[in-house]
Chain A
Amino acid sequence: MARRNERAAGIGSRAVQIGFLLGILVLWYLATNRWGVNRLLLPNPIAVWQQLLDVLKSGEYLPDLRITLTELAAAFALSLTFGTIVGYFVSRTGYTIRVFEPLFAGIYSIPIILFLPLYVLFFGLGPESKIALGATISFFPIVLSTIAGFGNVDRTLVTAAKSMGASDYQLFRYVLVPAALPVILSGLRMGFTIALLAIIGSEVIASLAGLGHHIVQLAEGMDMARMFAYIAFVVAIAALLNSVVSFLEARGRRWT
């Protein structure tokens, strides 16, 4: 009896979710087609769909996508390298952890996007400023999780390995890395997600190219339908990238 109620509740909530999404679409359609909402504020959903298909077919997104992805790859490569290396060395003694971890955590607590104007002043409006900002912002979750990962390795494991004669290299490779990996991987995933947001954000705010910038261009041209379509496209790309990264993280944590 309880299980039937459980299942009914499950189906019911699914129904509400689907109903909610459908309802939004219906309202959207009615608003633009029946209730006379200004097309300059809210485009016709059908027009948005057509624009989306056009964007995809024409491949107009390709140069922007390439730029954004390049910026993302470069930024993440930088933050991953520096974050893990610095994090490892900080984690080696309790003292260095006590010195540096609060420093990194403190800086991370402020919105680092604030420094975007500084980077734009220094690097210009090109991809370098996006890469620099993306790398800076994503450095912090990576370094913090690396410190946590290596710093919280069960001491007994280290003692056991040393008592069996493990060399420093063997200790690192066979004990420290596997023990720290789950935490580090989750930090890498966070860093990636944040880098993506930072880069798209800086493209919206101050850029000459890239996916974020293209949305701004469409907004300035008041091309509402196409802008909505482009926004949907960018959101989809971001979601896709994040799923891939989450999947990779889960794969890396197979033994937990």
Chain B
Amino acid sequence: MTTRDAAVRIKGVSHQFGEAGETQYVRALADTSLDIARGELLCLIGPSGCGKSTLLNVIGGLMAPTGGNVEVAGKPVRGPMPQDIAFVFQENALFPWNTVLENVRLGMLFQGVPKSEHEARAKLSLEAVGLVEFANHYPSQLSGGMRQRAALARALSLKTDILLMDEPFGALDEQTRMILGEDLSVLLSRTEKTIVFVTHSLGEAVFLADRVAVFSARPGAIKKIIRVDEPHPRKPEFITSKKFAALRNELYALLHDEIRKTVAESARAPEGS
């Protein structure tokens, strides 16, 4: 993996909201540096408010960091890079007035894909996520899991090298998460995409990731990076294996104190978290 080029270079990125001394001042992210290899799936996990979503937004060009910079595919990130980076958000990112198919096509329209390719690409990505029969349904007619599949299809159809996912299964129930996690692993084993995946779920991180970056409490910095050495696609049996349990326990041990710290912090501070 180290012989491949780094797809994403995060150099000394830190971020704060507001100025020191103001009431809304928050140090969201402490100095963070990391190289993400091409084709790897990196998970960012940590307690609430540790800055993992902030880091994701910085990588994707949705936010300019107050310190440091990010390079994607050798280019410095200065704004959204729709040709290189696609997002999957936690929820509410599908346009409710468009059908699933229209949503997918609209993404391609925004990115600038020639109209002649829309139909074919849309069909492929809907097949990949298993939503072909629901192409003409509206998001309100779909379950939460199906909506996220649709969001994923839209992101896939953009054929970017990098996929950023901000707690994509966060709003779903555990059983749906399990299924979607398995399907995602299968799907991604077929592509060469670089994926950065933010999650709260320990099991999800171990199941999906090649590496897991564990964040400390706010201001978040990477406490430790854990490697998950298991080939893709990950089988459901992996979850019941000893290796999985060991990794999950390691994550738990790393996170537990940070989570306690965060809860204590938010009990003290009335608002602004």
Contact = CB atoms under 8 A, between A and B. Distances in A.
Q: Do A and B bind each other?
A: yes
Given A255-B96, A255-B97, A161 B89 contact: no
B93 interface: yes
B112 interface: yes
A156 B89 contact: yes
A164 B95 contact: no
Contacts of A166: 110
Interface string A122-164: 0000000000000000000000000000000010110111111
Interface string B87-120: 1010111011110000000110111100000000
B66 interface: no
Given A163-B62, A163-B87, A165-B80, A170 B95 contact: no
Nearest to B164: A163
A157 B97 CA distance: 12
Chain A contact residues: helix, strand, loop or mixed: helix
B92 A163 contact: no
A175 interface: yes
A115 interface: no
A7 B246 CA distance: 64
Given A160-B89, A160-B93, A255 B138 contact: yes
A165 B92 contact: no
B85 interface: yes
Contacts of B47: none
Q: Which of B60, B87, B110 has the most CB of A within 10 A?
A: B110
Interface residues of B, number: 26
Q: What band does the interface of chain A fall in when counting residues whose beta carbon is under 8 Å from B? A: 10 to 19
B91 to A, nearest CB: 7
Nearest to B106: A174
A178 B102 CA distance: 13
A179 interface: yes
B83 A165 contact: yes
Interface in B145-171: 154, 158
A164 B97 contact: no
Nearest to B112: A165
A170 B97 contact: no
A255 B95 CA distance: 11
B82 interface: yes
Given A154-B92, A174-B106, A179-B97, A164 B138 contact: no
A183 to B, nearest CB: 13
Q: Which of A160, A161, A178 has the most CB of B within 10 A?
A: A160
A90 to B, nearest CB: 23
A156 B57 CA distance: 12
28 contacts: A154-B92, A156-B89, A156-B92, A156-B93, A157-B92, A157-B95, A159-B87, A159-B93, A162-B62, A162-B80, A163-B80, A163-B82, A163-B86, A164-B82, A164-B86, A164-B107, A164-B111, A164-B158, A165-B80, A165-B82, A165-B111, A165-B112, A174-B109, A178-B97, A178-B98, A179-B95, A255-B97, A255-B138
